[in-house]
Homo-oligomer: A and B are copies of this chain.
Amino acid sequence: MRHVSIKDIARAAKVSHPTVSRALRHSPLVRSETAKEIRKIAETMGYRPSAIGRSLATRKTNMIGVVVTTIADPFIADVVRGIEDTANEFGYSVFLANSNANPDREIQVVHSFHERRVDGILVAASRVGALYVPLLSRLRVPIVLINNQHPDEPDEFVRSVMIDNIKASSAVMSHLIGLGHRRIAYIGDKSGFQSDTERFAGYRRSLELASYAFSPELVVHGDGKAEGGLQAMEKLLQIADPPTAVFCYNDMSALGALRTLCAQGIRVPADISLIGFDDLAIASYTSPLLTTVRQPKQQMGRIAMQMLLDTFSGVESKSSIKVEGELILRESTAPPSWCDGNAN
């Protein structure tokens, strides 16, 4: 026999297995001396309850599934950490699955979670398109999307947490414009994803508000990773009239851009200002330190998990939460070189 079951204990204690079940769960229905005796025997026999058996009986697994594009992304890793901490605190275990940014794989993973009867699903930075939410909804499992990359319609089962991109993006632009920059470039992600779209929207709106011209050649798309930022910056430097400041979609892109600038001997921020988004740990260790927008990554994970827990316990909660970013001023931004310290 592989594992001790309550039936084994029942035999040893000369009682029935329901009595054991109740004793172990401290039910008041069982005489306290009997219960104590049973628990002692269980302890001696090295009993560990089977979550499988329990799940089958209670129709509750205390498991949640987390889908990420890739856990190797430091942004996502932080979010997952927040999720896992909260989940663990409340007795939930976390399934982790990488979709590798492959929509088919992502859907397959969700089905696998469904078959395991997880109590809820969290999805970080989904890359799946418009039909996704209805598909998820059909599973009738509570779901929270974190920084979902496609606009989602409200839904009974699908909730969401995301950062207020437009607001944060506007803060970035205010900072740069306030320093005196007029030619500000934008290095984005691959086209079509929501956080890119929204941050770009904030960029454009800020230019308009300041009555500055929008120059399409100042907008370059990377891939959200360092390599893309590196190449995007190379392109920007080839323009006849290059920008004096660059707003990067995220810190990884900024890191790549910084690399290009450094390799070409261009000083940051003396020659060009650079600003990122996310506030990854690395942003505090680059040279110069990177000015960026802090996303409360762990907290977003905690909030998402908390939304699930609320759903489980029937607490009514908002179907969509927007968190605020915070502009972190460090060393990578300064007034443009032609500007002697005071803007315009």
Q: How far is the CB of A284 from chain B (nearest CB, A)?
A: 7
- Closest residue of chain B to A262, judged by CB? B287
**CB neighbours of A100 from chain B (8 A):** 85
- Closest residue of chain B to A268, judged by CB? B287
A61-90, CB under 8 A of B: which get 1 and which 0? Answer: 101001000111010011011001100100
Distance of A53 Cα from B116 Cα, bound (Å): 9
Distance of A2 Cα from B119 Cα, bound (Å): 13
Q: Which of B2, B77, B80, B116 contacts A52 (CB 8 A)?
A: B116
Q: If A115-B49, A226-B281, A284-B226 touch, does A84 touch B56 (CB 8 Å cutoff)?
A: no
Q: How far is the CB of A280 from chain B (nearest CB, A)?
A: 9
Q: Which of B50, B53, B81, B287 contacts A71 (CB 8 A)?
A: B81
Q: How far is the CB of A78 from chain B (nearest CB, A)?
A: 5
In the complex, whether A323 has a CB less than 8 A from a CB of chain B is no
Q: Which of B46, B51, B81, B98 contacts A70 (CB 8 A)?
A: B81
In the complex, whether A255 has a CB less than 8 A from a CB of chain B is yes
Q: If A115-B51, A226-B284 touch, does A2 touch B95 (CB 8 Å cutoff)?
A: no
In the complex, whether A282 has a CB less than 8 A from a CB of chain B is yes
Distance of A226 Cα from B74 Cα, bound (Å): 15
* Chain A, range 277-336, C-beta contacts under 8 Å to B: 281-282, 284-287
Q: If A52-B52, A116-B51, A256-B285 touch, does A84 touch B111 (CB 8 Å cutoff)?
A: no
Question: Would B61 and A52 count as touching, CB distance under 8 A?
Answer: yes
In the complex, whether A26 has a CB less than 8 A from a CB of chain B is no
Q: Which of B72, B84, B109, B259 contacts A96 (CB 8 A)?
A: B84
Q: How large is the interface on A (under 10, 10 to 19, 20 to 34, 35 or more residues)?
A: 35 or more
A85-105, CB under 8 A of B: which get 1 and which 0? Answer: 100100001111110100000
Q: If A52-B52, A117-B51 touch, does A94 touch B95 (CB 8 Å cutoff)?
A: yes
**Interface residues, chain A, CB within 8 Å of chain B?**
2-3, 46, 48-53, 55-56, 59, 61, 63, 66, 70-72, 74, 77-78, 80-81, 84-85, 88, 93-98, 100, 109, 111-117, 138, 140, 226, 255-256, 258-259, 262, 281-282, 284-287
19 contacts between A and B (CB under 8 A): A3-B117, A46-B138, A48-B115, A51-B117, A52-B117, A71-B71, A72-B74, A72-B77, A72-B281, A74-B74, A74-B77, A84-B98, A93-B112, A93-B113, A226-B281, A226-B284, A258-B287, A259-B285, A286-B287
For the complex of A and B, 10 pairs with smallest distance between CB atoms: A96-B96, A51-B116, A262-B287, A255-B285, A72-B81, A77-B77, A51-B115, A52-B55, A71-B77, A72-B77
